[in-house]
Amino acid sequence: MKNILNAPFVEEMKKITANMYRLGWDERNGGNISYMLEESDVAEYLDLTNVIRTIPIGFDAAELSGKIFIVTGTGRYFKNIEFDPANNLGIIRIAKDGTTAELLWGYEDGGRFTSELPAHLMSHITRLRKDPEHRVVMHTHPTNTLAMTHIHELDDKKFTHTIWEMCTECIVVFPDGIGVLPWMVCGNNEIGVATAKKMEDYHIVVWGLHGIYGAGKNMDEAFGLIETVEKAAELYMLIAGHPHVNTIRDFELKAVADAFGLDYRKDFLDL
Ligand code: 13P
Ligand code: ZN
């Protein structure tokens, strides 16, 4: 059996969380990531019959029964993951009953998965129905995106339109747009259901006055969506209060989308 600490999926979690911390997005325990793994990949490192302990999930995730995820721990600091993955990360398998997680590795000091597991697993269910290659759900607190939710209307179309206008390539990176939720209590099933519902239409969901979710086939894709929104939100905050002399007009956004042959949210442009 190979050493799990050298597994590429553990390395990926270490690298991405360290990077996100250094970007200033994940203060203290802010942010969480879940990454669905292939059983055959995990089997090279772990005895899959050895369940260390079981942890109740708090809702029925039967659609994910048997699926294995590496997940950040609740209350854990992204800045510490690269130095101590075994305490700050865990590998869980969704049990047959759908309401229990079987711990296969990690959370060694008695910890458990992120409090946002409902939003993660419910979003995985939604995205997997749309795309069998979907794998990663990422939640973080990027500074400018959060700032923008303080001063911009929290409406899917209006928020997406403003972000698309900020830089030419936004519409190329997320032609399906951005779903936006109002402020809600976090860490429960209700915000999980609301997030997963938005994930039916979008790969990105902004939580007003809290943060953002990105979903993708791999770590780069989920991260790339979030960093592109954050870059655009930074531009928005930099120019907020200044007169707008130039802007990308809707027919120009359409021209970019057409040039790249994209299936974009046409109803988000006023043409
Ligand atoms: P956890 O520490 O439970 O992952 O929560 C962090 C967070 O960002 C809550 O939204
Ligand atoms: Zn959060």
CATH architecture assigned to 1-114: 3-Layer(aba) Sandwich (3.40)
The pLDDT value recorded for residue 71 is 99
CA distance 217 to 215: 7
Q: Which atom of ligand 1 is nearest to the CA of 207?
A: 10
The pLDDT value recorded for residue 78 is 98
Q: Which atom of ligand 1 is nearest to the CA of 140?
A: 8
Q: Identify which of 230, 96, 10 has the alpha carbon closest to the alpha carbon of residue 222.
A: 230
- In single-letter form, the type of residue at position 133 comes to E
Report which bound ligand comes closest to the CA of 145.
2
Is residue 227 flagged as an active site residue? no
Fold of 116-271: L-fuculose-1-phosphate Aldolase (3.40.225)
Q: Which pTM does this prediction carry?
A: 0.98
The pLDDT value recorded for residue 113 is 98
Domain ranges of the chain: 1-114, 116-271
CA distance 32 to 71: 7
**pLDDT tens-digit series, residues 68-117:** 999 999 999 999 999 999 999 999 999 999 999 999 999 999 999 999 99
Point out the residues of the chain with pLDDT beneath 50. Answer: none
Task: Determine which one of 102, 116, 221, 227 is catalytic.
Answer: 116
CA distances to 18, 52, 144, 157, 241 from 244, rounded to whole Å, are 36, 58, 19, 20, 9
| Within this chain, domains 1-114 and 116-271 share the same CATH topology | yes
User: Which residue out of 76, 107, 114, 146 has the highest number of ligand 1 atoms within 8 Å of its CB and is therefore the one to mutate?
Assistant: 114
The pLDDT value recorded for residue 87 is 98
